[in-house]
A and B are shown apart, each in its own frame.
Chain A
Amino acid sequence: MARRQIKTALNTRLSTFQKIYLLLIAGFILGPFIPLIIQSFAFRWAWPDMLPSTWWLEQREKSLLPLAWDYVLSPYSRVWEATINTVFIGSVVTVICLAICLPAARVLAREKFRGKAAFEFFLSMPLIVPEAAIGIALLMIFISLGLAGSYLGIIIVHLIPTIPYMIRMLTAVYQGLGRDFEEQAMILGASRWQVMRLVTLPMLLPGVVAGALFTFLVSTNIFLLTFFMGQGKIITLPTLLFSKIAGGTLDASAAGITLVVTIPGIILLLITERFIKEEAFGKGFGN
């Protein structure tokens, strides 16, 4: 009896409830994409049909591409413009964020100093103060500085929500690194530059890549700050999609744009899974 109890308590396999739960969650996460994909290929899909009454395939002679995709891929939808803006802003934000966070993370991981706890708290403040508050307040300042509606303005505000993530992930990397290897290299006669180039950087690299990818991801997903600062002049994928669905309805072209907006996330997911290990993420957020 006792042994059976221990066995059930330590079961490493799924219970029936958990199996059903995993399936339900998978359906909850992925299920809505099915009608979205169908919608983007439909020619005519009226309520209450479960499937389109006329598919694009049957109406091929009328348009070469599915109607929705024809629009999405054309310059009129501004999808290309938004994609390029999103990638450009994300890359610049990532580089700046990395440059200012790397030295700070090194200190935070290795030094003890007065006011360290307060400093760390200050660095995570942007995660806690509502984005709308910061966005509207900064918009006032940026309008008077002429930064509203410019790339520079958007890049600067993107630093606010990305810094806390970058700092946490890089600090975790430095903590895992330890000083031993660097010290050994120095004892063996390596110069500072050699230590940096041959020991620290190679060991740091996977963590830095993870932090950079995550920062890029956060930046590409920001809606509110881009929407406020972009002033409709600069659009990114999230703000473009917002303008298409703001009325609360979703036509075929909006479905197509939704799918396009999903693609960078899928690409990043495939890349990050290799670099961002659950354990590393836990060090950043589990405390």
Chain B
Amino acid sequence: MWVQLMPVLAVLSVLFGGALVLAVMQSLGFAPWFGVNTFPDLSYFGALWGSWSFWQSLGLTLYYAIVSTGIALVMGILLALAMVRIFPGKSLYKYLYKLPLMIPYTVGIALAVIMLGNGGMISRIFAFVGLIGDPSEFPQILKTHYGWGIITVYVWKQTPFVTLTLYAVLLGVGRETEEAAAILGANKRQIFFGVTLPQILPGIVSSTLIIFAFNIGAFEAPFILGGGYPDTLPVVAWRYFNDADYTLQLQGMATVVSLALIASAILYSYLAFYRSFERRIGRN
């Protein structure tokens, strides 16, 4: 039995586990190939956590991740609930809504640039109806720290993922329990919150976990559409890593390790909270 599990276990342990262990050791000052070996040395973490810009970057990273996950979740639930209904053109729609899932984030970023940029389509429409007379009068959407460009790209790409997961769960459970609740006199609201929502909750938790984790670690959207300094943590780590001063690479490692620690802490408490909720309502 373990023979069959071995290949996948070996690949993941070596690559994934190896990367994690090495990242932690480097962030603690172990880099003999640069002639740096002060292990264990907390000064890289100290320098990082002691700087105000780290906390600004962390706040920004979490803000983009949380807002876009929340919006994608609400939009995805609404779309999944509509998808289980019968409507003309449904088989076509099932192709259409999955398109963003199939293409890279960079395409989404390009679309954001052409739509939301100051010389983009929406700005042209504003000019067309006479709201603005110059591209610079268009409210800046991209390259600001509000990050609406980044959030739009994430939502565009991830709403289909949430929808697909929840739609699949809804198809799996069928509508019998909803019918039973309706016959017993529940109204639409009660059916949604008392019957449907608990049924799709596991799907909600797993899909939001995945997209939130992705958003925290995403690089390309904040790099292109972000507002510059302070950057999100993955971009900060990348800049440290490419700095001419190679000792900053260790600082970059400390950034990456902090990011992984914070992400795991958030995701772990999210899961623990969900488990305790499950127990309270009597599942498992």
Contacts and interface: CB of A to CB of B under 8 A. Distances in A.
Nearest to B206: A285
Contacts of A189: none
Interface in A189-231: 217, 220-221, 223-224, 227
Given A14-B85, A242-B220, A262-B103, A285 B1 contact: no
Contact of B8 (A2, A167, A261): A167
Contacts of A107: 1, 4-5
A90 to B, nearest CB: 12
Interface residues of B, number: 111
Nearest to B119: A47
A12 B4 CA distance: 46
B167 interface: yes
Interface stretch (A61-69, A72-80, A97-105): A97-105
A287 B26 contact: no
A83 interface: no
A278 B260 contact: no
B5 to A, nearest CB: 5
A125 B259 CA distance: 15
A128 B267 contact: yes
B117 A29 contact: no
A35 B121 contact: yes
Interface string B220-237: 100111000000011001
Contacts of B191: 9
Find the residue from B156, B160, B171 having the highest chain A CB count within 10 A: B171
A281 B168 contact: yes
Interface string B236-258: 01100100000001001100110
Interface stretch (B41-49, B51-59, B209-217): B209-217
Contact of A129 (B20, B107, B121): B20
A178 interface: no
A46 to B, nearest CB: 9
B272 interface: no
Contacts of A217: 102
Contact of A130 (B75, B110, B179, B259): B259
Interface in B76-99: 78-79, 81-82, 85-87, 93-99
A141 to B, nearest CB: 6
A8 B188 contact: yes
B275 interface: no
B175 A140 contact: no
Contact of A22 (B18, B93, B164): B93
B66 interface: no
Contacts of A122: 9, 12
Nearest to A269: B102
Given A128-B264, A279-B168, A269 B87 contact: no
Contacts of B35: none
Task: Say which size band chain A's interface belongs to.
Answer: 35 or more
Contacts of A119: 5, 9
A32 interface: yes
B188 A270 contact: no
B277 to A, nearest CB: 15
A35 B33 CA distance: 50
A21 B4 contact: no
A146 interface: no
Interface string B1-29: 10111011101100110111011001000
A157 B128 contact: no
Interface in A1-55: 2, 5-6, 8-14, 18-19, 21-22, 25-26, 28-33, 35-36, 39, 47-50
Nearest to A254: B110
A131 B214 CA distance: 7
Given A10-B179, A25-B97, A132-B238, A48 B124 contact: yes
A237 B186 CA distance: 51
Contacts of A238: 104-106
Interface string B119-148: 111011101100000010000001100000
A163 B12 contact: yes
Contacts of B179: 10
B282 interface: no
A84 interface: no
Contacts of A106: 4
A134 B111 contact: no
A151 B182 CA distance: 58
B172 A282 contact: yes
Nearest to B19: A137
A278 B168 CA distance: 5
14 contacts: A9-B188, A13-B87, A14-B87, A26-B96, A36-B110, A50-B128, A125-B12, A129-B264, A130-B214, A132-B219, A139-B241, A250-B110, A262-B107, A278-B171
A-B pairs with lowest CB-CB distance, top 10? A130-B217, A282-B168, A265-B102, A132-B234, A48-B127, A137-B23, A103-B4, A265-B103, A32-B111, A100-B7
